[in-house]
Chain A
Amino acid sequence: MNRRHCLSLLTGAAAAALGAPGARAALGALDLASEAAPVWEAWKTAHLTSDGRVVDTFQEDGSHSEGQGYGMVLAAIFEDAPAFRRMFDWTELNLARRGDGLLSWRWLPGRSDPVPDRNNASDGDLFYGWALVRAGRSFAEPRYMTRAIEIAEALAATCIVTDPSDPDRTVLLPAVHGFAHDGRLTLNPSYYMPLAMRELADATGVQAIATCAAHGQALIDRVAAQGLVPDWIELDEDGWRPARLFPPQSGYEAIRVPLFQIWSGNAGAAAVRAMAAAHARAGDEPRLVPVVFEPDTGAVLERSPDPGYRALAGLVHCARSASVGAAIPAFDPDQPYYPATLQMFAMIAANEVLSECVPI
């Protein structure tokens, strides 16, 4: 255990011993549907069309299963049944074209064939299914749960495969096609959202997903023990390594890993500690927050002005800090879809798991 690791653990212990528990008790989890309704309205106004399409301007104004799934999770948490139904209807109409229950990963406007690529994205499917589970409970719509079961079974059947390094474990492929080759798998650690996987499994009875979540957690812990989690990794019979076909970086993909760890109730995870340490090393710079790191050294490769990424940094720091309050900015509806949505997730994660990490 190096000195930084030791210090971070001590800091975390101090947080638990001093202010955090009392603060958590006093703050409690808020009902975001009422307490943060303006934030949800701002997100919808900025990124959701009236017909239920979540627009990603950085992807040619297109939409994708990830965005639809993310938006529907938000709608379920904010108890916005009409918005949820619009997103669901649009997704079913435009992305549910594969026939196996999963969603095609992207829809592009203004094309004769708006879905030229039928492949799926398993994180989009996962969030879509999770949103349906939550909405099925909240909105009393049986068809949501029926569809969630279909998604869960399809994911388990097509995207959960045996870990080549350990036949007793399973992994989540990023898509049905294209990520397995000669016994070597390419994985995206940020596609694992343990809480979503557990809830989807519990609600649908597809326990393979919960099992895969547990195995994925262990995998991420092993990766994070070496430093920052890369965006993409390869897995073969010898174990994991950074994916050769992608830049060796921990960036816009892996930035979700500590977020999902915290949201899943694992704020002490190695991935969170590694990201907190990387931010601490990078130092603060007004308006710009580090988003892309070199995994081994922690060197900052890119910074971004988007508040959503700063919110993630604030949440990660707060998770490892002894103080109450987090350096999380107010929600900015003018930022692009992706950081805006991650900022929404940071708010939800803080509220559900680290209620002392409110923005100061």
Chain B
Amino acid sequence: MSGQVCAGAEWLRAGAARACAAGLVAAAVTLATPAVAEAPLIAVPFDDDADAASIDPGEFSEDRFADTRRRVADDAAAAAPAPWVSPLRPMRVSSMQTGSVWRFTGERHSEAFTLHVGDPAMAGRLRLRLMSTVNVLPERSSLRVQVNGSELGEVTLRSFTGFTDMYLDLPEGVLVSGRNAVRLDVAQHHRIFCGPDASWALWTELDLAESGLEVDPGHVTPSAQAFLMALAAQAASGGAIEVRGTAALGEARTEWLRALTAQLGRAMSGKPLAFDFTGHWTVRPQTPARARVSVLPGAENRLRFVTGADGAQVLVVEFVPGAPAEAMPDLSAALPAMAQSERPPLIEPGREVALAEFGVETERFAERFARREHAFRLPDDWLVLTAEKARLRLDYIYADGLPEGSVLVLFMNDEPIRMLPLWGDPNNYITRFPIDFEARHLTSGTNIFAFEVLIPGDPPDMPCAGARGAVLEIAASSTLDVPDSPSMFLPDMGLAFSALTPDSLVTNDLTHRAFDPEDSLVLGAALARAGAGYRPAHLHLMALEDLGSVPLGRYSVERRLLEDVLAPITRGMPGDGPGAAPSAQPDPFRFVQEARGSRAALVGWWDWVMGHAGDFLQWVNPRTEDRLNEWLERQQGQAVFLHLDHRRPDQIWMLRSTDADIGDIAAAVVAARTIGEGPRGQVSVLDHDGTWRNWLAPDRQPVMLEPWTLANFRSAMGNLVSARPITFVFILFFLTLVSAALALRLVISTREHDR
């Protein structure tokens, strides 16, 4: 290379032996004068005076003119595009999923997934990336796979040290283009113990992002099915769906994007999609894009599917500039919504309803521990606060030989309502076994009842005996009878929350301080799933600075407390938190406290009396603003939902933490609206674990929604009294006292008259 560095006409003619001399000449010229235009000290194809025929172009062309630009893919790894996976996508939103990992727990766990396929012929096998706890006994533990109802086979669970790929061949004709239903049934046995504790210690994890069909990007033909397949892969990778070029939509941008994101969200089961709205000119993301949406102006409003330059499947949405949102091409034809958008089935109060009527099939249990939940809905104006009973009539049978202590526990909205022993009368189909429970455990909207089975090990310190069949069966003919109620409403955000739609989002001039414009689109897409079928409610997106405009009804909320609730999580050094061990430093205030002496005892006694008096008064007539602020002091979360003014039953106000991920909030919203356990009451905090923590005002009063009649008086009055029983007791007590005083006065005055 030094020869090339020294390259010049002299060097070219005389060869390498003169290289140093040429370098010296160059140095001399540099020192002598900066004007070196005449000095032929350059790498050139040929010199002006040289004989071209005597020049070997190979000696100089490498330096300036040729291969310095080259980067040829000369190895197979670079030439072959990296395959990606069309992933298994869960049919439901669940806490079983953390990131891209789905956890199967217990002895048996079945789960339904969707597998999007562009071209069925492209895939010959299904990949499952699995890892199990070491507690799993591989000889008796397996994962069984069904695709579109066809048995595909099973794999043994034996990956204990890390995720391992396992494969099942896909026979021809099993897959179809579009959506494919995949069911995974996991059976696990503990290698040492038996019983509920052993069952809780069993798990197998499936890496969803890496489980599914291996896709060769070079063989993906653009289509709606291929796009959905890539969309699932993009979502599974944890990346947001990029939507490019939306600025050109102009004034109709929000409406177009709301419709677009809502339909994309409806087309995918599982966790809601996150979106990233970008310009056209972007930097390559860290992980390769699999799918995106590109919005482009065109001669007509239409959709088309193409492969991007980076191999991503692209949905191109072309629009005629200036076109209104109504002109948007029909997305639902190309990207049909999934059935998972449906809400839980509605049951009719006042009538005995078979479990089968709201989708519960006959349940069979073979596990030592199992919990199966079923959701149903009650009418939104249903309300029972009295001690009135609802009745479950259970048809069930259990096997002989179950150890003592085997029980079936029934839960209604996480309240245990009955524990049934599973020994003593085996092999006898018990029909219409009545289980009465207080109807006030039920609420309007979504309710969840659960069967939980616990069968101790026999013995518990040995592995469970070999394979056995079902030990308990609960028939779908079992019934639930929920008492009728007058049409009443207890102020609660649950109803408004279930009625939210993408059109429900309301912003104001200060919203931008807490929400990006795109946040409302992400929320809107989430709200497009599982929406109620009646007049939409409103969700106001608020900045904390705008708290003054939130109607608080009879309540008050301290802004400082809300700031604390929504404060970003700080991850300080161990010991920084409020629960840190007391410091060894001397306390300078110790002497002040000690100096109080005997007076402190008196003050302490007075404080105690006043404190308990305050509690008593709160019990008699709750001052809810104090309770709300006390409750808020103990909360921390990523979003707060307020619904404090009962005169605005269809309005919710939402605040968010500055570090909250809108995608996480959207996922929690979807989960709450599909499986219940969402925001309730007057204030709800979505904590950082995705759990809704609700505050129900103790003084809220039911509102009658129908005319008072003799028929509904008893039930309605019962609800009113049950809402604040102590208050009514004291009112009656007060009236009694007044009556007694009047009577006494009457007696005394009569006697005075007599005298």
Q: Footprint of B on A, CB under 8 Å?
A: 18-19, 22-23, 25-27, 30, 32, 35-36, 38-39, 42, 56, 58-60, 97-100, 105-106, 108, 111, 113, 116-119, 121, 158, 175-182, 186, 232, 243-247, 251-253, 285-288, 302-307, 310-311, 314, 324-336, 338-339, 347, 351, 356, 358-360
- The yes or no answer to B320 lying at the interface (CB within 8 A) is yes
Which of B43, B281, B310 is A35 in contact with, Cβ under 8 Å? B281
Would you give the shortest CB distance from B289 to chain A, in whole angstroms? Answer: 8
Question: A330 and B310 in contact (CB under 8 A), knowing A113-B30, A245-B55?
Answer: yes
Would you give the shortest CB distance from B287 to chain A, in whole angstroms? Answer: 12
What are the residues of chain A within 8 A of B35 when measuring CB–CB? 98-100
Would you give the shortest CB distance from A302 to chain B, in whole angstroms? Answer: 5
What are the residues of chain B within 8 A of A347 when measuring CB–CB? 281
- A302 close to B70 (CB less than 8 A): yes
- The yes or no answer to B574 lying at the interface (CB within 8 A) is no
Residue pairs across A and B with Cβ atoms less than 8 A apart, 26 shown, are A26-B248, A26-B250, A30-B279, A35-B281, A36-B279, A38-B282, A98-B34, A111-B5, A113-B23, A116-B6, A117-B7, A175-B42, A178-B9, A178-B43, A181-B50, A286-B217, A287-B78, A305-B79, A306-B71, A307-B309, A329-B308, A330-B283, A330-B289, A332-B284, A358-B280, A359-B280
- Main SS of chain B's interface residues? loop
Which of B37, B64, B73, B321 is A25 in contact with, Cβ under 8 Å? B321
- B42 close to A56 (CB less than 8 A): no
- A360 close to B296 (CB less than 8 A): yes
How far apart sit A30 and B80, CA to CA, in the bound complex (Å)? 36
Of residues 43 through 63 on chain B, the ones whose CB sits less than 8 Å from some CB of chain A are: 43-50, 52, 55, 57, 61
- B36 close to A98 (CB less than 8 A): yes
Question: A307 and B310 in contact (CB under 8 A), knowing A98-B35, A113-B23?
Answer: yes
What are the residues of chain B within 8 A of A181 when measuring CB–CB? 46-50, 52
- A177 close to B309 (CB less than 8 A): no
- The yes or no answer to B573 lying at the interface (CB within 8 A) is no
Which of A244, A287, A360 is B79 in contact with, Cβ under 8 Å? A287
Interface string of B70-107 (1 = CB under 8 A from A): 11110000111100000000000000000000000000
Would you give the shortest CB distance from B124 to chain A, in whole angstroms? Answer: 20
Which of B41, B68, B314 is A118 in contact with, Cβ under 8 Å? B41
- Main SS of chain A's interface residues? loop
How far apart sit A326 and B8, CA to CA, in the bound complex (Å)? 45
Would you give the shortest CB distance from A349 to chain B, in whole angstroms? Answer: 12
Would you give the shortest CB distance from B18 to chain A, in whole angstroms? Answer: 14
Question: A19 and B308 in contact (CB under 8 A), knowing A175-B42, A181-B48, A245-B46?
Answer: no
- A177 close to B44 (CB less than 8 A): yes
Closest partner residue, chain A, to B306 (CB atom): A360
In this complex, which of B37, B47, B282 has the most chain A Cβ atoms within 10 angstroms of its Cβ? B37
Would you give the shortest CB distance from B50 to chain A, in whole angstroms? Answer: 7
Which of A42, A116, A286 is B81 in contact with, Cβ under 8 Å? A286
What are the residues of chain A within 8 A of B245 when measuring CB–CB? 27, 358
- B308 close to A327 (CB less than 8 A): yes
How far apart sit A282 and B445, CA to CA, in the bound complex (Å)? 62
Interface string of B291-319 (1 = CB under 8 A from A): 00010111100000010111100101010
In this complex, which of B42, B57, B61, B321 has the most chain A Cβ atoms within 10 angstroms of its Cβ? B42
Report how many residues on chain B are interfacial, defined by Cβ distance under 8 Å.
73
Would you give the shortest CB distance from B260 to chain A, in whole angstroms? Answer: 15
How far apart sit A20 and B445, CA to CA, in the bound complex (Å)? 52
What are the residues of chain A within 8 A of B8 when measuring CB–CB? 117
- The yes or no answer to B39 lying at the interface (CB within 8 A) is yes
Would you give the shortest CB distance from A143 to chain B, in whole angstroms? Answer: 19
Would you give the shortest CB distance from A27 to chain B, in whole angstroms? Answer: 6
Question: A175 and B44 in contact (CB under 8 A), knowing A23-B296, A305-B73?
Answer: yes
- The yes or no answer to B663 lying at the interface (CB within 8 A) is no
- B298 close to A23 (CB less than 8 A): yes
Question: A360 and B5 in contact (CB under 8 A), knowing A30-B279, A177-B42, A245-B52?
Answer: no
How far apart sit A321 and B713, CA to CA, in the bound complex (Å)? 76
In this complex, which of B6, B34, B281, B289 has the most chain A Cβ atoms within 10 angstroms of its Cβ? B281
How far apart sit A353 and B716, CA to CA, in the bound complex (Å)? 74
- The yes or no answer to B285 lying at the interface (CB within 8 A) is yes
How far apart sit A330 and B583, CA to CA, in the bound complex (Å)? 55
Would you give the shortest CB distance from A25 to chain B, in whole angstroms? Answer: 7
- B283 close to A39 (CB less than 8 A): yes
- A177 close to B48 (CB less than 8 A): yes
Would you give the shortest CB distance from B40 to chain A, in whole angstroms? Answer: 6
How far apart sit A47 and B82, CA to CA, in the bound complex (Å)? 27
- The yes or no answer to B405 lying at the interface (CB within 8 A) is no
- The yes or no answer to B26 lying at the interface (CB within 8 A) is yes
Closest partner residue, chain A, to B69 (CB atom): A252
- A108 close to B5 (CB less than 8 A): yes
Would you give the shortest CB distance from B269 to chain A, in whole angstroms? Answer: 27
- B37 close to A246 (CB less than 8 A): no
- A246 close to B61 (CB less than 8 A): yes
Closest partner residue, chain B, to A284 (CB atom): B307
- The yes or no answer to B434 lying at the interface (CB within 8 A) is no
How far apart sit A38 and B280, CA to CA, in the bound complex (Å)? 12
Which of A35, A117, A333, A335 is B279 in contact with, Cβ under 8 Å? A35
- The yes or no answer to B65 lying at the interface (CB within 8 A) is yes
- A331 close to B34 (CB less than 8 A): no
Which of B289, B296, B321 is A325 in contact with, Cβ under 8 Å? B296
Question: A22 and B45 in contact (CB under 8 A), knowing A113-B27, A324-B318?
Answer: no
Closest partner residue, chain A, to B279 (CB atom): A35
In this complex, which of A108, A330, A338 has the most chain B Cβ atoms within 10 angstroms of its Cβ? A330
Which of B33, B65, B320 is A246 in contact with, Cβ under 8 Å? B65
- A330 close to B71 (CB less than 8 A): no
What are the residues of chain B within 8 A of A99 when measuring CB–CB? 33-37
A60-B1, A324-B318 given. 18 additional CB < 8 A pairs? A19-B318, A22-B297, A39-B281, A97-B34, A98-B34, A100-B37, A116-B5, A119-B42, A178-B42, A287-B73, A310-B309, A325-B294, A332-B283, A358-B245, A358-B281, A359-B308, A359-B309, A360-B296
